Structure formats: C-alpha cells, structure tokens
C-alpha cells in the first residue's frame, strides 16, 4: 500500500500461516483449537492494533468479540470477577479490599500516566503524541528511575496490605509471559494500559482468520506467501551483504531479508558458521528466553457454562505468589523434574480460556496455559515424555475439578502441547512463548543494532517485546521509517528497519 513497487515474498515452514497466531482442527471432536491469541490488546479506542488493522483494511474481513470480563480470578476460597473496564475494575477492587484503596488508586494512577507513556512509545518517538514535552520528559525520567528497575512483586509489596489484591491484579503479567518476580513494574503498567484501557478482543473464528486475512492482504498487494517451505540458509555475499535465502533447495534472491524467527536459531542454524559474528554471538548470550508454555486442549461433552464456568477467562490461583516464587526458585536452582512439576504446574497460576464462550461454533473447548520451562521435559517420542504429558493432564484436570467440580465426568478429550511442541513448530529458542525475557535490568533486545550482515533485519516479539500487538507496533514503526534499497525483498515475517530510534526503544521497553 505504502510502497506500491515493492515485491514481497513471505516464506513460512508450516502448512498454515501465522506462527503462534494459528489454529488446528480435531474433526472427530468437532473442535477447533487456537494455538495462542485469546486476547488481542489495543483493539478499541486509541488502541494501536485496532488502528493498524483499520489502516490495512482488515476490519471488513474480521469480526471481533469483546468479552464482558477482563478475567476471573479463582482463589482457594472465592472467585473474583473483574469487569472489562478500568473504572469498574478499580471500583470492584476498592469495594472488595477497602483497606487497600490507596494502593489500588496509586496503581491505576501509575497505569494512566506511566503505562500510557510506555504504550505510546512509537508515537512519542515520531512526534505525534499530544502531551506537553516538558512534563513528558519529566515523567519518563521518573518512571525509568523509579519503576523500571523494580519488579511487580516488589511494587505490590509496598502498595498492598492484602496479598490477594496483588495476586489478582498481577495475573495480566501472564499475558506477556512473566510472574510478578520477573517483570519490571513499568513494563507491567504498559500491559494493563494496552489490555484494559485500549480494549481487548478475540477474533471470531480463531486467530487463523486474522493470519489468513493478512496473507490475502499481502497477495492482493502483489506479494506472495510460500507455505510448507522451511528456510535452510540466509545467503550472505563476500561483502557481508544479504544475497537472498535458500529454502527447500530453491534460491530466492533478495537484497533485504526480514526475519521473525528466533535470533539465536537464526545465527546458529541459518547463517553459515564461518561468518564473523562473534560480537553478535556474545550479545545473544545475554538474550534470555521468556518462559515457555505448556498447554492443555480440552473438549467437554457439554457447554462449559453448564459445568459452572461461564467467564471467558479464568486464572486458577493456588498459592500466594511469595510461596509459589520460592518453589519456582528452588525448581530453577535444582532443575529437579518433580520439583519443577510441583512449582510450575501445581502451585503457579494456570490460565483457562473458555473458547466456547468466545466462539460456540468451534466446540466445547477450554484451553489451559501455564508458564513452563523446557528444561524438565524429556525428549519427544520417549515413554518418559508421554508419561509426563499424562501427569500434566491429570494435574490440570484436578485443578479444574477443585474449583469447578461440575466438569467431573464431562471431559471428553484432552491433548497437550509441551515446550518441545512449541520448539518443533516455531523454532523459538527454548520453546519461548513470548520472545525475549523482559526483566528489570537493561535488556539485550538490541543485539541486532549495527548487525554485521547488511540487509538482514530482525522483527518479531524477540525484538519488539512480548505480545502480538508489540510485534505489530514495532513492524509498523519500521515500515514507516523504511526506505527502499531494492525492489526485491524476501522475508519470513514483517516490515523494515531504521536506526535513528533504537536507543529510545531500549529505554522505553
């Protein structure tokens, strides 16, 4: 649309487009399972993703579902339903926890100022953000000094008397793949702003519809999408410039290649070993993968609402985070598989999406996701692996029955995706579900700045930050600053580069 002469080729190894934004069918169960996107952020009001979809003309083809509830927190002794509206959500929390009113008000004030500033980072960079510059600089400095270097956990300890408030309101950290001890408080504020203030929605029919619509958009613009075509190598000429890619034994010439596969995988598997990439490899050593996920896909023989679950999204919370955190620390330190199961599966929160409530036509489907690590998973196709999947299923069902006993006797079908499944399908390092880990220290997302191979650019959640909207926002930002170098361009992902703003990105992420 913006660059009419540009020829774009997208090369994807899987048989369907979308990566995590895809779906698969189980016809015998009359079920369709979404692989990831149950909640797109930025889909209302001033939301960036909705605006980008509008500009791409996607909204004529997609129907969105806006859930009534942000989520439901299922605590050991009660379920707390949170409305999908910031004002009502704040009011609900203040009514439930009057002793914590001050902390709750502080949290929402922080979201409205610092979360908002972080969310609109690209608008700040391109000068279209309508806030007085002096106050903006002061606020950004304040947030970086006081909020970027503390975890959600530490912030909530200071803010709330009741462990429950922090516990409930920390759940959206899972949307970007982090527990309260992992994520920077500033990053978390931006997640709440993106998901709650800028609207969240599900694409009716599954996120495959969205990916298919994007493919149609590329093809209408004269581009081409090759499926079932793994890229084997990115070709680099003797001047350290991209020459194209080799995929399924075919060579595709291109002067610019945009990769959204995981950077470590790209450097280790797609670039020849003899290239002088020592500095990049050093930088990549500091790029820590986010948590992976383990997923249970479930079909019930009746509507989940009949079994007592009508909310679209429920977090099953077992232990206060401080205790769960101690167990996770111990599990990480020892890498003992049984301790990992206890810490990650039994006592950490599990997110349950009631897909039937979002899209009744795709079956009585519930999907469970929790943050997990590949390290304690045996290799695929082994007996231990099968047994482990069985244990995972049993533990998830037990957690479900404890809180929603109506499901007993109604589970018709289950299937598990482990971190190893995610590696197999996406090549994401360690099966990461959310790209690079975003902690409190200065982050290494910038490994790709001044990349020694000219014409090779990295996109994706690995450079943009976790979530679909972040990957899209970054891609838009790059597309806006793109200048054509040639008329031919191959890519396994998104748009184009521009170096002028990289330091600002580092600061605001």
Ligand X SMILES: Cc1cc2nc3c(=O)[nH]c(=O)nc-3n(C[C@H](O)[C@H](O)[C@H](O)COP(=O)(O)OP(=O)(O)OC[C@H]3O[C@@H](n4cnc5c(N)ncnc54)[C@H](O)[C@@H]3O)c2cc1C
Write out the residues near ligand X by the rule CB under 6 A. 11-14, 19-21, 36-41, 230-231, 260-261, 293, 295, 369, 426-428, 433-434, 460-461, 466-469, 471, 492-493
Q: How far is the CB of 82 from ligand X (least distance, A)?
A: 16
Q: How far is the CB of 118 from ligand X (least distance, A)?
A: 16
Q: What is the DSSP string of 235-270?
A: EE-TTSBEEEEEETTEEEE-SEEEE-S-HHHIIIII
**487 φ, ψ (degrees, to nearest 5):** -95, -5
In the complex with ligand X, the residue whose CB is nearer, 103 or 295, is: 295
- Long-range contact set of residues 100-105: C-beta below 8 Å, sequence gap at least 24: 100/159, 100/160, 100/161, 100/162, 100/165, 103/159, 103/160, 103/161, 103/165, 104/160, 104/165
- In the sheet that holds 40-41, the strands lie side by side as 40-41, 200-203, 64-65
Q: How far is the CB of 310 from ligand X (least distance, A)?
A: 19
Q: How far is the CB of 142 from ligand X (least distance, A)?
A: 28
Closest residue to bound ligand X by CB:
19
Print the SS3 string covering 416-460.
Answer: EECHHHHHHHHCCHHHECCCECCCCCCCHHHHHCCCCCECEEECC
In the complex with ligand X, the residue whose CB is nearer, 37 or 196, is: 37
Instruction: Say how far apart CA 234 and CA 232 lie, in whole Å.
Output: 7
Instruction: Say how far apart CA 410 and CA 412 lie, in whole Å.
Output: 6
Q: How far is the CB of 120 from ligand X (least distance, A)?
A: 17
In the complex with ligand X, the residue whose CB is nearer, 103 or 205, is: 205
Q: How far is the CB of 157 from ligand X (least distance, A)?
A: 28
Contacts of 170 (CB under 8 A, 6+ apart): 152, 153, 156, 179, 180, 188, 321
In the complex with ligand X, the residue whose CB is nearer, 165 or 231, is: 231
In the complex with ligand X, the residue whose CB is nearer, 343 or 466, is: 466
Q: How far is the CB of 152 from ligand X (least distance, A)?
A: 18
Cα separation values, 179 from 50, 128, 167, 385, 438, Å: 27, 33, 10, 26, 11
Q: How far is the CB of 104 from ligand X (least distance, A)?
A: 25
In the complex with ligand X, the residue whose CB is nearer, 140 or 195, is: 195
In the complex with ligand X, the residue whose CB is nearer, 277 or 350, is: 350
In the complex with ligand X, the residue whose CB is nearer, 260 or 418, is: 260
């Amino acid at each position: 649309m913006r660059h009419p002469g540009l020829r774009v080729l997208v090369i994807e190894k899987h048989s369907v487009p979308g990566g995590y934004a895809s779906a698969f069918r189980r016809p015998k169960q009359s079920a369709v399972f979404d692989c990831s996107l149950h909640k797109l952020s930025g889909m209302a009001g001033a939301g960036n993703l909705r605006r980008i979809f509008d500009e791409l003309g996607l909204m004529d083809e997609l129907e969105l579902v806006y859930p009534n509830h942000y989520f439901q927190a299922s605590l050991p002794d009660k379920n707390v339903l949170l409305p999908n509206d910031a004002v009502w959500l704040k009011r609900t929390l203040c009514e439930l926890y009057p002793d914590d009113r001050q902390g709750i008000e502080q949290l929402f004030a922080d979201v409205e100022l610092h979360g908002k500033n972080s969310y609109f980072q690209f608008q700040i960079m391109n000068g279209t953000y309508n806030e007085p510059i002096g106050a903006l600089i002061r606020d950004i400095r304040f947030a970086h000094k006081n909020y970027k270097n503390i975890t959600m956990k530490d912030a909530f300890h200071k803010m709330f008397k009741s462990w429950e408030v922090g516990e409930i309101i920390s759940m959206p950290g899972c949307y970007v793949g982090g527990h309260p001890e992992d994520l920077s408080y500033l990053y978390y504020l931006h997640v709440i702003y993106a998901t709650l203030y800028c609207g969240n929605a599900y694409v009716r029919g599954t996120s495959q519809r969205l990916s298919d619509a994007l493919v149609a958009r590329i093809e209408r613009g004269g581009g081409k999408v090759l499926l079932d075509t793994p890229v084997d190598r990115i070709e680099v000429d003797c001047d350290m410039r991209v020459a194209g890619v080799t995929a399924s034994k075919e060579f595709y010439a291109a002067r610019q290649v945009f990769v959204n596969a995981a950077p470590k995988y790209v450097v280790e598997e797609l670039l020849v070993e003899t290239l002088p990439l020592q500095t990049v490899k050093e930088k990549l050593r500091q790029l820590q993968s986010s948590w992976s996920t383990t997923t249970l896909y479930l079909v019930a023989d009746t509507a989940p609402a009949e079994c007592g679950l009508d909310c679209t999204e429920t977090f099953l919370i077992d232990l206060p985070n401080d205790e769960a955190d101690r167990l996770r620390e111990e599990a990480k330190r020892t890498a003992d598989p049984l301790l990992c199961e206890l810490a990650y599966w039994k006592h950490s929160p599990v997110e349950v999406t009631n897909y039937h409530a979002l899209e009744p036509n795709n079956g009585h489907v519930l999907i469970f996701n929790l943050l997990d690590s590949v390290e304690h998973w045996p290799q695929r196709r082994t007996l231990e692996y099968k047994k482990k999947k069985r244990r995972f299923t049993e533990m998830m069902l037990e957690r479900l029955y404890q809180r929603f006993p109506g499901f007993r006797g109604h589970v018709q079908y289950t299937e598990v995706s482990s971190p190893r499944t995610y590696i197999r399908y996406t090549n994401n390092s360690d099966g990461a579900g959310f790209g690079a880990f975003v902690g409190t220290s200065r982050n290494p997302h910038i490994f790709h700045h001044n990349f020694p191979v000219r014409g090779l650019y990295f996109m994706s959640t690995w450079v943009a930050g976790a979530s679909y909207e972040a990957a899209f926002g970054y891609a838009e930002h790059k597309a806006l600053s793109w200048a054509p170098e040639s008329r031919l361009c191959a890519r396994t992902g998104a748009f184009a580069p521009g170096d002028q703003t990289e330091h600002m990105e580092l600061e605001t992420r």
